[in-house]
Amino acid sequence: MKLFPRFQKRGSGFANAMVASFPDELIPPEPLIKYFNWLEAARADRLQEGMRFALVDPEQRDLSMLVEPVDPNFAVAWIGEDIPSISGRMAAFVRTGGDGSYAGLWRDDEGGLRFVHQGSGSGSTMLCTLTDDPIDFLRLLAIGYDELCWAEAMHKTPEEVHIEHLAENPGLGPFKPRRAMRDWVEATFGVIVPPRASDIVTSIAEMDQAESDDPFWKWIRAAQGWDG
């Protein structure tokens, strides 16, 4: 994997690398910048094969969920061609699962910022708006899932998901809750992190739906030339 050009210009600091990687038209909101700085201070960031990334939570046990600099080619691949007026409105920066699904920032037609999910298609098919509040997005990440890309798991707690997986793979061992990001989010923003994703994400759309009221789902389908 190669370093992104804007990352090279800004030096090796993780927070700087993250901010510099966003499209010029899509400035990350202040809570995100605080999060990137916290990850760097907590030494959650890593350098592997020339690419810097960070664990979503320093207490994370695997590499299924990562915070990564925005790759502009990701948006181009979704749209099917390089249209800056469209691709410049998308910034995928959190890998939500080992299947290659991502969450990111999107600017809607009214100029508002929303946090959205783009499933890989080969695994997760979630294609929807998660929240329009950056602090709620951080609350979502802080719940403590090993993966955050499966629609059927959104109404379950991380422990409930772990117990289900344990039945199939006894070698996983006991559930170990993560507190680092939860504690930081609650202390920094004066909020409570809920027990499950469905407490924040109240509606989910899937790629293969014939219709949806989800604004991101509609926008992606239109950008791909789908006429409904």
Position 11 pLDDT exceeds 50: no
| Number of structural domains found in the chain | 1
Question: Is 228 among the domain residues?
Answer: no
Residue 50 domain boundaries? 5-223
- How far is it, in rounded angstroms, from Cα 217 to Cα 118? 9
Q: In 10 A of CB 197, how many CB atoms?
A: 24
Show the tokens assigned to 70.
């925005």
Q: Which residue has the tokens 């979503």?
A: 56
- How far CA 42 is from CA of 46, 75, 200, in Å, comes to 11, 30, 26
Give residue-wise pLDDT tens across range 93-138. 999 999 999 999 999 999 999 999 999 999 999 999 999 999 999 9
Q: In 10 A of CB 18, how many CB atoms?
A: 29
Question: Among residues 208, 194, 188, 212, which one has the least CA distance to residue 30?
Answer: 188
This prediction has a pTM of 0.91
Question: Is 145 among the domain residues?
Answer: yes
- Give residue 7's pLDDT: 37
- Give residue 169's pLDDT: 85
Question: Is 25 among the domain residues?
Answer: yes
